[in-house]
Structure 1
Amino acid sequence: MASARVTLTVTDSDGEQTVALSSPNKVIWPVEGADGITKAEYADYVQQVSAPFLAANGHRPVSLERFRDGIAGEQFFSKNPPKGTPDFVDAVEVTYNSGRSHPQIVLNRASAIVWAVQMNTVVFHPWASLAADTDNPVELRIDLDPQPGTGIAEAVVAAHELRAVLREAGLEVFIKTSGNRGLHVFCPIVPEWEFLTVRHAVIAAGRELERRMPDRVTMNWWKEERGERIFVDFNQANRDRTMAGAYSPRAIPGAPVSTPIHWDELDDVDPKRFTVRSIPARLAEIGDPWAELQRAPGRIDTLLEWWERDVDNGLGELSFPPEFPKMPGEPPRVQPSKKVAANWDENGNPIED
């Protein structure tokens, strides 16, 4: 049975803060061949990794993926601060693709992360923009997503070539495991472009990668067209589309963590080794591979030139996620195998009877 509430004293940069933790002995993650990871152990983990965690995920809007009873329980997302949110948890007003605006949670101190654990958060999903300017990303993010028949080995090969592409565009490139089967590639950028423009830069990079590795990489949005290739998920660059943050666990048995790595670690990477139980010792031994992430943000001018070149050559807008409003120049939102050409106009809009 889960134990009663305890009170933790958390050290923030500006002093100490007490945070109540209910059910500290509740198991959040089962671990094969070992005791499961409890809520108290998770709260201890986030305190140990709070500095690199906040460097990567703090001071920006974040969505909390919460589970009522461990990772096997009901899952839901929190974006705006719930009733009773303490004053050491910040918020910022954000605008979504629908045009709606409301406050979204911002984590700026270790105690706020522990509060999120108390609220049964398992996965942290930070925006690519900061609270000081939510409209313009400070990172170009590319999700390399293995499709059925592929895995981490194929993602590693694609990541090396993607690094070469992005370096040719004048960007510094960082990488982390997704915490599951894929890899996340990040480039720090100056916040001079809004999300849709950054998305076009991501599409340009992905198309260049696809040209170089057509049998291994795909930009096809529809799953039926991807085959056994690595999908470059360009839509993760959209406003309010997020991926698991650096040092965030995933809702997978064993508590794997989305972990920044050095490029010379990539070829031998085993994402399963990076867990809530192993990351503190890793940080103590080698430090944070992303410590210099925001030291010298780059520009996406070259990628945008590639985008315009491709548009001039007949390659235009790509599909948006289904929850987005219909976007200018977007292809028809229908699976290719179900598309009847006569039912769609040249702008991708259905023709009314």
Structure 2
Amino acid sequence: MATLETYRQKRNFGATSEPKGRKARKAGNAFVIQKHAATRLHYDLRLEMDGVMKSWAVTKGPSLVPGEKRLAVHVEDHPLEYNEFEGTIPKGEYGGGTVIIWDRGTWNPIHDGRKGYAKGRLEFELIGEKLSGRWHLVKMHGKPSEKRENWLLIKGEDDAARMAGGPDILEERPESVKTGREIEEVAGEAPGWSSKTGKIAKSAARIPTQSVKRDESEVLVELPDPSSVKGAKKAPLPDFVEPTFASLMTAPPTGDRWIHEIKFDGYRLQARIEAGRVKLLTRSGLDWTRKFGKEVMSALQALPIGTALIDGELVVETGSGASDFSALQADLSAGRSDRFAFYVFDLLYLDGYDLRALPLVERKTMLEQIVGTEPGLVRYSGHFDENGGLVLRHACRLSLEGVISKLRDGPYRSGRSKAWVKSKCSARQEFVIAGYVPSSTSRKAIGSLVLGVYDDGKLEHVGRVGTGFTGAVAEALFKRLDRMRIAASPFADKLTAEEARLARYVRPELVAEVEFRAWTADGHLRHASFRGLREDKPASEIVREIPKSKTATPKPQKRIVTLTHPDRIYWPDEGVTKEGLADYYTEVWRYIAPYIVGRPLALLRCPSGITGQMFFQKHAWKGLNKHIVLVNDPKDKDDEPLISINDLNGLMGLVQSAVLEIHPWGSTVADWDRPDTIIMDLDPGGGVAWETIITAAEEVRQRLKDAGLTAFVKTSGGKGLHVVAPLKPKADWPAVKAFTKAIADSMAADSPDQYVSTITKSRRQGKILIDYLRNQRGMTAVAPYSTRARPGAAVSMPLAWEELSPGVGPDYFTVDNTPTRIAALTSDPWEQFRAEAKPLAASAGRKRKAG
């Protein structure tokens, strides 16, 4: 029940000018964050709900780093009038100290806000002058004797988030959004004085502005006035400006001269706006206005400007929050536009003035003022001011495409430029389609594309790409390419017999974007995956892109298993083929090997992919590949042999047999009855928030630590998390099962509203099953790095504990993006897994929950 009784009891309104307030009758959605220099500096977050401001004291202030938890102590409700309070509370009074309005705006609950607040899991979006995007408030479960109600404030993973090590918003923007002053300037003054003076401009402001209303709201925003900007040149609006293109480098440049932006994976577009009319032009000047639907046009028309030329990139953002060119292609083909986002990163022209001669940071400041920080369809692309290498490492660990680095004071110059450089997380570029190989499983689809690049006007063969095609795309490409067939090879040099095998040649007019791991010694692509057609680029411009300061690429693992029907699609919506799965496992072999070699395996086989029949198998089958090993369980000598592997070719034999999930025992074939691994599977029922699963994993970690064990964590690739601990194989299976059951039962007893330890589905709604039953002889759990036979082609990914965050869900990592993460890792998060193995103590598992 919302009430102001506690608020009023704590204050002497004869001594303080804080508002007495009253509960509002009408519902609203305002938020305010007040910076409060009381006994200790903190930030008060207030969200309007039921006529009052629900309030939390955030001890260290909000952080823009996803997953970084900030303690938020729930305090008494405040009146709506408190949103305007800025000044000094007298010493000796409750909360004595100086208060400024650090941020304000509106908030929107993602789900039912009242229910989320009541349950202690509130997910919402902020639209403020400093903060925006998704946020989480998660209630902690303290001891019954605790008087304080502690919550955690956590930033969600979105375009408003920042990398760890980036600028701190609290240091970057210390001022009041109401008066422009910092807290030291307000201290000691009569309360309310600054609220009557209006906003005080900062002396460091560089861009002349004008105040206007944004849309139909009453919120005043500051817009740039180009007529007063030094360097802006009065000129007519150009029809088109050739874009600046970035040069490829292996690593971002260093130094204060550079800023760094996240590289998007979409279509580069120039938005030309003139008197309400909008055109979207490709990098070569083609008019693609109608290609992207009315929503994009309407969003650009709504910007508070008359004429403009804006450089940006239109993308589709998937559930993981990353832009995905393949998903963009699929949405365009399906006529879908609900996932579009147009990120803008440069302003070339505004309201009668050419801005290209201005320094980049001034152009970006003006652009940010125009677009704002609301996460709408048109979004401002922010940047990082320092440590481009750190930005790139974080981008790659999250499987993003890479980083664009730009000279902060550089003008806008058309063409390929050294003032803009790109550093990619994986090799990717465009290639000319010179032919195709028909599918071995369908008469109306392609199996692979034959690719080339131009070198001094001559078309050079670079190999094939045979994965990344959905069934629909493979059929559409066949239909289109079959009409373009020619009799002779378009390559300048004759192909070898192997290169020409089954190839049908076409006119070299279409361009494909392809991601690949590296170039082979003979100049061919290795582990290539199709991303889509690039109809915005002419084939004649496609050349081999080799980054400067190129380092040697590692030699691929040796594979000798022949795959039949390598173009058979296992994950239709993602276009992952048998060949693509083999490439994935070759890429991660050195990481997955310690967890699957020399162990009995249970396998999920899907001969027709994830849409067909599925069955678990642990015994031999007809036609078993010779590299797969048969092992005999010493306790079941009369039973059929079990399956095991010893090397990469054994794993390739599993791929050939359509094995899409690998589930090893927790013991080896050298010591069947003494497990060397514990696994606790946290399996959420319906309605359980991801943050709650993370909290559960951390509790399991602590309980294992209390028992003398070291815990590691991985995503399941499904719905939950697996907490895993290595053991020195001394205890037997019954002892390990008893130990894990004690942990599960204890957690369920301590927090019955959160956890259950029995598998009955009727008891699991809104709770997490602590599944310990995998810790018994013959039971298995999915291996680290194993794929899952589910839509999305997710994998079970080992993580460092600090990587757990709201932005990295249980199925975030996939066959598609895991190799990028692997390449970016400076160290394996599970590198010390076996080194941390400890014996199971006799008394372990019986401790109660730690406070």
Fold shared per TM-score above 0.5: yes
- Is 1:154 matched with 2:692? yes
Q: 1:130 aligns with which of 668, 679, 697?
A: 668
Q: 1:76 aligns with which of 601, 604, 615?
A: 615
CA–CA separation in structure 1 for the residues paired with 2:640 and 2:740: 27
Q: 2:763 aligns with which of 225, 237, 255?
A: 225
CA–CA separation in structure 1 for the residues paired with 2:824 and 2:775: 33
After superposition, residues 21-36 of structure 1 pair within 5 angstroms as 21-31=563-573, 36=575
CA–CA separation in structure 1 for the residues paired with 2:629 and 2:672: 14
Cα displacement (A) at 1:155: 1.2
Q: Which moved more, 1:169-178 or 1:298-307?
A: 298-307
CA–CA separation in structure 2 for the residues paired with 1:186 and 1:100: 33
CA contact (8 A) 1:59 1:106 kept: yes
What corresponds to 2:582 in structure 1?
43
What corresponds to 1:18 in structure 2?
560
CA contact (8 A) 1:95 1:102 kept: no
Which amino acid in the other structure matches residue 703 of structure 2?
Answer: V
Q: Pick closer, same or farther for the CA change 1:293–1:101 going to 2, 3 Å.
A: farther
3-state DSSP class of the match of 1:281? Answer: helix
Q: 1:293 aligns with which of 821, 833, 837?
A: 833
CA contact (8 A) 2:716 2:811 kept: no
CA contact (8 A) 2:559 2:648 kept: no
CA–CA separation in structure 1 for the residues paired with 2:685 and 2:843: 26
What corresponds to 1:3 in structure 2?
440
CA–CA separation in structure 2 for the residues paired with 1:212 and 1:99: 43
Q: Deviations over 1:139-161 (max 9, x none)?
A: 11111110122143321110111
CA–CA separation in structure 2 for the residues paired with 1:182 and 1:161: 14
Q: Pick closer, same or farther for the CA change 1:99–1:114 going to 2, 3 Å.
A: closer
Q: Pick closer, same or farther for the CA change 1:141–1:220 going to 2, 3 Å.
A: same
What corresponds to 2:817 in structure 1?
278
Q: Deviations over 1:220-254 (max 9, x none)?
A: 33222334210011211122221211101111112
Q: Which moved more, 1:298-307 or 1:232-241?
A: 298-307
Cα displacement (A) at 1:100: 6.0
3-state DSSP class of the match of 1:161? Answer: helix
What corresponds to 1:203 in structure 2?
741
Q: Deviations over 1:112-140 (max 9, x none)?
A: 11110000000001110011111111011
What corresponds to 1:52 in structure 2?
591
Which amino acid in the other structure matches residue 205 of structure 1?
Answer: I
CA contact (8 A) 1:256 1:273 kept: yes
- Is 1:164 matched with 2:702? yes
Q: 1:253 aligns with which of 763, 767, 791?
A: 791
Between the two proteins, the alignment pairs up a number of residues equal to 300
Q: Pick closer, same or farther for the CA change 1:206–1:119 going to 2, 3 Å.
A: same
CA contact (8 A) 1:140 1:188 kept: yes
Q: Deviations over 1:310-350 (max 9, x none)?
A: xxxxxxxxxxxxxxxxxxxxxxxxxxxxxxxxxxxxxxxxx
Cα displacement (A) at 1:288: 2.6
What corresponds to 2:775 in structure 1?
237
Between structure 1 and structure 2, the one with the greater Rg is 2
CA–CA separation in structure 2 for the residues paired with 1:274 and 1:211: 33
CA contact (8 A) 2:712 2:723 kept: yes
Q: Which structure is richer in relative contact order (CA contacts within 8 A, separation 6 or more)?
A: 1
Q: Deviations over 1:246-268 (max 9, x none)?
A: 10111111200011001001123
CA contact (8 A) 1:30 1:254 kept: no
Cα displacement (A) at 1:207: 2.4
Q: Deviations over 1:179-216 (max 9, x none)?
A: 01111111101111222221101011212323443321
CA–CA separation in structure 1 for the residues paired with 2:722 and 2:589: 20
CA contact (8 A) 1:95 1:101 kept: no
More strand by share: 2
CA contact (8 A) 2:684 2:769 kept: yes
After superposition, residues 258-273 of structure 1 pair within 5 angstroms as 258-268=796-806, 269-273=808-812
3-state DSSP class of the match of 2:591? Answer: helix
What corresponds to 1:174 in structure 2?
712
Q: Pick closer, same or farther for the CA change 1:305–1:226 going to 2, 3 Å.
A: closer
CA–CA separation in structure 1 for the residues paired with 2:681 and 2:843: 17
Computed over aligned residues only, the root mean square deviation of the Cα atoms, in angstroms, reads 2.7
Q: Which moved more, 1:133-142 or 1:264-273?
A: 264-273
- Is 1:186 matched with 2:728? no
Q: 2:629 aligns with which of 82, 90, 95?
A: 90
CA contact (8 A) 1:54 1:107 kept: no
CA contact (8 A) 1:256 1:274 kept: yes
CA–CA separation in structure 1 for the residues paired with 2:846 and 2:640: 35
State the percentage of identical aligned residues.
33
- Is 1:145 matched with 2:683? yes
Which amino acid in the other structure matches residue 27 of structure 1?
Answer: I
More helix by share: 1
Give the unaligned 5+ runs of structure 1: 8-14, 310-353
Cα displacement (A) at 1:91: 2.6
Q: Deviations over 1:36-67 (max 9, x none)?
A: 11111111101111111111222111111101
What corresponds to 2:653 in structure 1?
115
CA–CA separation in structure 2 for the residues paired with 1:106 and 1:133: 14
CA contact (8 A) 1:216 1:228 kept: yes
Q: Pick closer, same or farther for the CA change 1:92–1:284 going to 2, 3 Å.
A: same
Which amino acid in the other structure matches residue 612 of structure 2?
Answer: G
CA–CA separation in structure 2 for the residues paired with 1:120 and 1:68: 5
CA–CA separation in structure 2 for the residues paired with 1:281 and 1:160: 27
Q: Pick closer, same or farther for the CA change 1:275–1:17 going to 2, 3 Å.
A: closer
CA–CA separation in structure 2 for the residues paired with 1:37 and 1:187: 32
Q: Pick closer, same or farther for the CA change 1:262–1:16 going to 2, 3 Å.
A: closer
Q: Pick closer, same or farther for the CA change 1:193–1:101 going to 2, 3 Å.
A: farther
Cα displacement (A) at 1:17: 5.0
Q: Pick closer, same or farther for the CA change 1:273–1:210 going to 2, 3 Å.
A: same
Q: Deviations over 1:252-311 (max 9, x none)?
A: 11200011001001123223320001111111111432121111311221554729x9xx
Give the unaligned 5+ runs of structure 2: 1-437, 442-446, 448-465, 467-497, 499-556
3-state DSSP class of the match of 2:682? Answer: strand
CA contact (8 A) 1:165 1:208 kept: no
Q: Pick closer, same or farther for the CA change 1:95–1:143 going to 2, 3 Å.
A: farther
Which amino acid in the other structure matches residue 28 of structure 1?
Answer: Y
Q: Which moved more, 1:124-133 or 1:298-307?
A: 298-307
Which amino acid in the other structure matches residue 232 of structure 1?
Answer: I
What corresponds to 1:105 in structure 2?
643
Which amino acid in the other structure matches residue 296 of structure 1?
Answer: E
With structure 1 as the length reference, what TM-score do the two structures score?
0.78
CA contact (8 A) 1:249 1:257 kept: yes
CA contact (8 A) 1:200 1:304 kept: no
3-state DSSP class of the match of 1:49? Answer: helix
CA contact (8 A) 1:128 1:137 kept: yes
After superposition, residues 303-314 of structure 1 pair within 5 angstroms as 303-304=843-844, 306=846
Q: Deviations over 1:3-43 (max 9, x none)?
A: 27999xxxxxxx95521111111111133xxx511111111
Q: Pick closer, same or farther for the CA change 1:95–1:179 going to 2, 3 Å.
A: farther
Structure 1 outlier segments of 4+, above 6 Å: 4-7
Q: Deviations over 1:75-107 (max 9, x none)?
A: 1122123234344322321267x8964321112
